[in-house]
A and B are shown apart, each in its own frame.
Chain A
Amino acid sequence: MPELLQIEHIRKTFPGVIALDDVSFTVATGEIHTILGENGAGKSTLMNVLTGLYHPDSGKMCLDGTEVHFTSPRDSLACGIGMVHQHFMLVPAHSVFENILLALDKVPLLYNRKQYQQKIQKIIDTFELDLDLDTEVWKLSIGAQQWIELIKLLLRDCRLLILDEPTAVLTPQETDRLFRVLRLLQEQGKSIIFISHKMREVVEISDRVTVLKKGRSISTLDRGSFDREILAGLMIGQDKIPEWQKNLQMSENIVLDIRNLSVRNDRGLADLDQVSLQLKEGEILGIAGIAGNGQKALAEALTGLKPVTRGKIFAGEVDITHSTARSSYISGIAHIPEDRKSIGIAPDLDVADNLIMKSYKNPLFRRGFFQNRGAIRRNAEDKVSRFAIKTGPDGSPVRYLSGGNIQKVIIARELSENPRVLVALYPTRGLDIGSAEYIHKVIVEGAGRGMSTILIAEDLDELLKLSDRIAVMFRGRIIGYADPRRTTREEIGLMMSGERQDQAS
């Protein structure tokens, strides 16, 4: 097969971070080429370089044998390279039609609405998709939104399609459908760069796999020369994942009792629909589910950030249903938020000030109206050394810290008051392996002291490794429970897609 794209020694750094160190690989015409790597290995950065969104610091990129320099996505689109981003590049307030039209080339200033609608409808029919052109995008499911992204690229006659973790938001069944379409496209001679860290899918669809690790392309394998174990070994390296000791003699003491909890979102739809669950002392309850099925609403309702529409939450004997964020903190619920930078920290303040963000009213840190700066500083020194936080020079704003260190600041703060319940949302997302391991350790050690954890994560491995019990959420409901000692990923996957109900509880 002739090589369509050649990437040689690409390097890209951001302030304080080497995102890509040295990456080389090639993509042939009509090939499905997977870039495999862990979170933080540099996959997304690499794709943004390919599409001209970022400028590489050094390295070479050749298309059809001639060197190209992209300075904007316009350049790469003009050369036939299109990308479906992990965070969709759609405008929620626009209709499906407008979103697609936007991506088209050479639309005249005054376009013929009917003619373009027919053109788009034809593609929708070819792939037997179910899309109404006049619906606003925010009303559509994530899966449907992804189809829009794909249609955009097909209408522009892209030769090389880049799909950044397209299956992360799909059910297994939707994934199968996507793969059928991808094979169809492959037959038409299109090249596809597929990005994923899910082994099963990678093995199923790829012609070749390039493994990315810490910003380096460490090897490229042809079909037939890889299987799950080989790829996993390459991706994770030789480090053995330690198996945590699960808490076998669980106390029967119930610390958190949620009864028929419903939460409505801003648009009046149910984010959380009659959820009941009980959390035992020292238990780590994993919550699995495709993003957007009510996990976030559950966490926000528990921590008082979102008003409860119906149902009750009891912490022990105390009704905390209508508590604000402050009183739920006092009643012992700590919270590691999903988006650590936009919710978890005050980016302009230093580490010491961020560490007391929840306990600043504690008599320890104040003398009447005044703050006790000495105590605040000593608290910071203690936490920084205990949680091994790497801070900048004294008093420097916390936003200059790396993601892992910001997460450690949040965890140090949340665990400092010995909470009875920890609600952790995607606590290791985007972190390097070292930091992720550290956070796992903290959660498990907490459980040993009797702290109960609700762990919401997208990574099934993480859930299986840490949880005593896994609840699966689908469309705002808990659709069933799984026992991590007995279940398989496939079974949980089926439950996540709403195909299978309860397995064991």
Chain B
Amino acid sequence: MKLVIERRDTSSTLMRFAAPVASIFVALAFAGFLLLAAGINPLEAYREILIEAVGSTYGLSETLVKATPLILAGLGVSIAFRMQIWNIGAEGQIYIGAMGATWVALFSGLENHWMLMITMFSAAFICGGLWAGVAGFLRARWSVNEVIVTLLMNYIAILLVDYLVYGPWRDPQGFNFPLTAQFADAARFASFFDTRLHSGFFLALVFALLLYLFMERTVWGYQIKVIGSNPQAARYAGMRTGQAVFWVLFLSGAIAGVAGFSEVAGLQYRLQHGLSPGYGYTAIIIAWLARRSAIGVVIVSLLMGILLVGGDSLQMLWQLPIAFVYAFQGLILFFLLGSDFFIQYRLKLIRGIRHG
């Protein structure tokens, strides 16, 4: 007897949507064993996460706050995914976007709130876009692997922001902490309900809607879909794939840059070391779990927001390193990739000859 793999006649629709949900739960179970091995009661930990993240108005608002940069960065990564371009550099693009917005807030001399908002937004958008655009240009011009370039540029971006906040941009009144001076009120988002929830969240939702329309209703979105589905066919149809690669990575980085803008204008009111605890990496998971859909990005970002808020409190309660969230996200991806197989194939037993 021998086990063989057979392709299914049609891929199972039920499995396709059930798989991400199931993966999260299986990953939760598996992560439980890891926690157990590290000496932490997983059930208590999960209860803690839920209570902290959705058990109160404050917890809920914190979840939305965490979800804000995730939605934006996730949308950025997912638009590149649509074209089979891998933007692993959202983390760096967030930093660079925040850097651009901070420059405007601190040094442009503008004082009008709306002028500031628009200029900060544009600066973040362009900075993030150009940062990713470097990888886009290299990929379009010489087919340089964009995964490695975007990733390595994360390290450079973080070091660049470090350079600024430890050096020229450091707040003279900041007791030598690596951070800039605080923004003036005119350079800040409005917050709501006496919580930390700020306009950035609604900006993220607007972006989700815009991106949905962009992909499904515009000529450019159509081109991205064709190129993503089959770049050779796109070339054959006369599409300029090289230009498209550049612009999609630009757009992808620009949206991630807006996430950086939203963080400094809505939450931190300054540029500082450790501005993002890895939102850009979580965004990759989000884009993959969301299966290319903008709405999916919003939903998955909210789930990840819960995890991050819970993770913060676990860190305080049990000194659990926040990086543990990565292990959990890695597990989700493993299980999702594994389950994808069963959407397309099934196993079958057959008889075989004896060897030897």
- Stretch in A150-158, A341-349, A427-435 with 4+ CB within 8 Å of B: A341-349
- Stretch in A90-98, A164-172, A353-361, A482-490 with 4+ CB within 8 Å of B: A353-361
Contact B237 A357 (CB under 8 A): yes
Contact A55 B353 (CB under 8 A): no
Please, how many residues of chain A have a CB less than 8 angstroms from a CB on the other chain? Answer: 40
Contact B352 A69 (CB under 8 A): yes
B38 within 8 A of A: no
Contact B232 A369 (CB under 8 A): no
B interface, size bucket? 20 to 34
Give the residue of B4, B225, B235 whose beta carbon is less than 8 angstroms from that of A353.
B225
Cβ–Cβ < 8 Å partners of A343 in chain B? 230, 232-233, 236
Give the residue of A15, A303, A346 whose beta carbon is less than 8 angstroms from that of B233.
A346
Cβ–Cβ < 8 Å partners of A55 in chain B? 4, 350
Those of B211-241 within 8 Å (CB) of chain A: 217-220, 222-223, 225-226, 228-230, 232-240
A326 within 8 A of B: yes
Complex Cα spacing A196 to B4, Å:
31
Complex Cα spacing A303 to B233, Å:
13
Contact A335 B236 (CB under 8 A): yes
Complex Cα spacing A78 to B353, Å:
11
Complex Cα spacing A324 to B9, Å:
39
Contact B238 A349 (CB under 8 A): no
Cβ–Cβ < 8 Å partners of B2 in chain A? 71
Contact A360 B352 (CB under 8 A): no
Contact A370 B218 (CB under 8 A): yes
Complex Cα spacing A14 to B6, Å:
10
Contact B222 A353 (CB under 8 A): yes
Complex Cα spacing A71 to B238, Å:
44
Cβ–Cβ < 8 Å partners of B230 in chain A? 342-343, 345-348
Cβ–Cβ < 8 Å partners of A305 in chain B? 235-236
Contact B350 A371 (CB under 8 A): no
Contact A15 B10 (CB under 8 A): yes
B7 within 8 A of A: yes
A325 within 8 A of B: yes
Complex Cα spacing A400 to B11, Å:
11
B8 within 8 A of A: yes
B352 to chain A, nearest CB (A): 4
Contact A371 B229 (CB under 8 A): no
Contact A366 B350 (CB under 8 A): no
Give the residue of A328, A349, A400 whose beta carbon is less than 8 angstroms from that of B226.
A349
Cβ–Cβ < 8 Å partners of A357 in chain B? 226, 233, 237
Determine the residue in chain A with the shortest Cβ distance to B11: A400
Determine the residue in chain B with the shortest Cβ distance to A14: B7
Cβ–Cβ < 8 Å partners of B225 in chain A? 346, 348-349, 353
Known: A329-B238, A346-B226, A346-B229. A70 touches B217 (CB 8 A): no
Cβ–Cβ < 8 Å partners of A370 in chain B? 217-219
B21 to chain A, nearest CB (A): 23
Contact B9 A347 (CB under 8 A): no
Complex Cα spacing A309 to B350, Å:
55
Known: A335-B236, A349-B225, A357-B233. A371 touches B219 (CB 8 A): yes
Cβ–Cβ < 8 Å partners of B226 in chain A? 346, 349, 353, 357
Contact B7 A15 (CB under 8 A): yes
Complex Cα spacing A412 to B252, Å:
35
Cβ–Cβ < 8 Å partners of A304 in chain B? 238
Contact A346 B234 (CB under 8 A): yes
Of A55, A326, A346, A369, chain B has the most CB atoms within 10 Å of the CB of A346
Cβ–Cβ < 8 Å partners of B351 in chain A? 69
A68 to chain B, nearest CB (A): 6
Cβ–Cβ < 8 Å partners of B222 in chain A? 353, 360, 371
Known: A55-B350, A69-B351, A75-B353. A345 touches B233 (CB 8 A): yes
Cβ–Cβ < 8 Å partners of A344 in chain B? 233, 236
Cβ–Cβ < 8 Å partners of B4 in chain A? 55, 71
Cβ–Cβ < 8 Å partners of B232 in chain A? 342-343
Of B220, B232, B238, B240, chain A has the most CB atoms within 10 Å of the CB of B238
Complex Cα spacing A325 to B233, Å:
11
Cβ–Cβ < 8 Å partners of B237 in chain A? 325-326, 329, 357-358
A268 within 8 A of B: no
A77 to chain B, nearest CB (A): 12
Those of A28-72 within 8 Å (CB) of chain B: 55, 68-71
Complex Cα spacing A96 to B225, Å:
42
B224 to chain A, nearest CB (A): 11
A16 within 8 A of B: yes
Cβ–Cβ < 8 Å partners of A335 in chain B? 236
Contact A369 B220 (CB under 8 A): yes
Known: A325-B235, A349-B225. A361 touches B219 (CB 8 A): yes
Those of A57-113 within 8 Å (CB) of chain B: 68-71, 75, 78
A390 within 8 A of B: no
Complex Cα spacing A358 to B8, Å:
32
B203 to chain A, nearest CB (A): 22
Cβ–Cβ < 8 Å partners of A68 in chain B? 353
A373 within 8 A of B: yes
Cβ–Cβ < 8 Å partners of B9 in chain A? 15-16
A493 within 8 A of B: no
A337 within 8 A of B: yes
A338 to chain B, nearest CB (A): 11
Of B218, B220, B230, chain A has the most CB atoms within 10 Å of the CB of B230
Complex Cα spacing A25 to B24, Å:
53
Give the residue of A16, A71, A337, A366 whose beta carbon is less than 8 angstroms from that of B352.
A71
Cβ–Cβ < 8 Å partners of A329 in chain B? 237-238
Cβ–Cβ < 8 Å partners of A349 in chain B? 225-226, 229
Those of B1-29 within 8 Å (CB) of chain A: 2, 4, 7-10
Of A324, A337, A371, chain B has the most CB atoms within 10 Å of the CB of A371
Those of A351-386 within 8 Å (CB) of chain B: 353, 357-358, 360-361, 366, 369-371, 373
B336 to chain A, nearest CB (A): 19
Contact B353 A324 (CB under 8 A): no
Apart from A360-B223, A371-B218, list 12 A-B contacts with CB within 8 A.
A71-B353, A75-B352, A75-B353, A305-B235, A326-B238, A326-B240, A335-B236, A343-B232, A345-B233, A353-B225, A360-B219, A361-B219
Q: A residues near B, CB below 8 A?
A: 14-16, 55, 68-71, 75, 78, 303-305, 324-329, 335, 337, 342-349, 353, 357-358, 360-361, 366, 369-371, 373, 400
9 pairs from A and B in contact (CB 8 Å cutoff): A16-B9, A70-B353, A329-B238, A337-B236, A346-B225, A348-B230, A349-B226, A353-B225, A370-B217
